[in-house]
Structure 1
């Protein structure tokens, strides 16, 4: 059946269009006229209704022929309404090869439709007979009727208008062939667009179906994350209902080949028996119901039957085989989800054991890392780790021209402590010294450099600040004796300070200078602070 079309045209051309359509034999095309804009005063009419009004009831679309609207760029809000833009409505009757020479020759073109109301048109334009005559005689040479032959009174109206204006007139027969050709092409194009729109709708429906299947497979993926078997069964029922458009589903939970529990919106008396018989009779994963409009589908995984789903009273029995093939394609995935749910408790126990082992391994790693980076006695950085971190700080200070200092610390007469009290007490003394030094300024790198020798790296610290810090470290050891198992032991320390200056290009050179300053402190009688460059000459070893 052909689509029905509402053809909207200017009221001046309605009779011509209806006559032309009758000759074309177009069925289902209804002509609807809109008011002529070209002869109305501004503001009295516009073509919004023609563009924006939906097709009338019973029509598949509307085709609007426009020649006097400057706003046709705006697309109609209803996609069923299509616009055909003309330079002027008069181009419906003849081509430019006919019209342009006449216009260039000074003719004023009129149509039968316009002539029917020429008196109203002139009044609408604000003319009386005198002003109308003056206006038209000034801008045109003659009046020319484009005669289509559809109105027998058109010639008489032309002569009346010519006499009114005082202008010569003539008629040129154009017939309806051009109009018929134009209308035939416009209608054919509209029908093609309508057919394309229907094709697009079919495609859109197919895409929606694909989207439904995509949602279904997304649900399949999410099945693997459900850890409760009953929740998994509910999701499987939702999945099959979505795919098959059927809510009359029955799911049997199966263990060791027997129906354990039935899940259904409405369980029938024979369901359990039918399901058990189907399990016993299934050899290919499915069984068609005797009625032919449903089937049993086995849910299994790795040769273990985990469930059975009954799909009955499918809405489109003709597509039963397609439904069945789709069900078979996803049944194994459903079986995997059920299997995962049943083994979840074991997986949880395994996960907990793995988590405990991971925590133990993490603690062991931290302990091993601590052993590798710190001195086990004092818990200060060892020399290797200190060198790694100090190199980074030194390079940063060098790159940005920031101050940095090294303080070398040597415990005075520590060998006598070991010789007098033993190495156990000596270890107690070293641990206590480390605790006191750590408490002075925690932002610095502090390490055991070897034996009773310690070292501190102080970023963002100039010579004066480093000297004051070294003095605080010295006083922290001097202010009170170290408590040991053998009683309190007085402890003092010698400290050497060096800062990065011109010529110090690496950390080793800076440490060497601090070591020279330390040597100067020991040479000065110990228990004091010396600064390289002031108290220790560069030539000193």
Structure 2
């Protein structure tokens, strides 16, 4: 039996092998070549493997940056399928870009199974591996297709060896399955004898369907917004299936029709309503129901069963995309929260010294027009004689006043126990005087309402206007600080 030969890197062989098995495709010979990422010494071995390819029956799948592309004989291996990353057919490029930008080291099942030999090929022992990975990576991210039973045990061992934390990101093989289906149908069509007109027409139709679906699903996987994802799926159903009516019912929608509520509660994955020229499919991942795809009014109703089979593939992939969107949102929220905590004072909610340090690193000298320095008078006296809880009340009260006096675009920072600063990106002497007077007026109002005399608020203030004299922010802060202390000395 003729077979299509597909060359795939050893790091991704398990995923592609599993995809072929799930689709029941038996006319493909999956040929492995050694990873060239670990060691360039394998080039001669890869060249040798490629030389055994069968002309017009061989395909290479790899990334655009893979050295394997330079080693093929184009007269023998006539087709290559390349993507931005080695992992692009496992997870969206946008998610990959995000993971890479966060300093993650991404691994596949094939790499994890042979992690010891991969590190050895890279020339590392335990000490040098730890040193390298700690300098280049924050954590290990494993793209888990649930095809390796001992994956977490191996991951824990690798994590301990490198002294790095790990994160498991579940993935679905639907993109690979659709890619392989599309390529196999195309190859079968090419190899059919012309007299088999019916078979050829069917294969052509399947090729067109899967090619269109594969392209659009690649686009869908890049979206991080649920509405955009569903909108693109609707476009796909209208374009490929000729659907005239499409609706995605959220899993908790109260407007869901009664027949779909019954369908939602049973174990079936789809509901075929031929007499209505309609089918409905559940969209779920890890037993969590995201909703129901409701498609009807097909232009070519005689193909509805074929459309259903393809739509079932799409729904499984859609479930993973919606799950990944949730995970992405959680990660972003978590990182935003950590970023907020690291750059804000927990007591007042104002920016803190960490944020000031970053600001100084960014060199915004010419952009800042006014700099204020503030110091709460006699805060130490209150802390020493009445306790830090009472002193904190003074700090919070002054922070509230600053929030009232400065705009959202101004930057107000608590830089120490009793010290604050503020940066304004526009304004002049008149602006600065107006803000100072407003602060003093609000302090007077605050003090008038006080019952506890020791909580009376007094603040020393200094400010400087940027005259574009090529001075640094630090220079301006020192000048404002000196003026603030002069103000304090006048009170003493």
TM range (shorter): 0.3 to 0.5
Query: Taking structure 1 as the reference length, what is the TM-score of the superposition?
Result: 0.33
Name which structure has the greater RCO, CA cutoff 8 Å, separation 6+: 2
Query: Taking structure 2 as the reference length, what is the TM-score of the superposition?
Result: 0.36
Pair member with larger Rg:
1
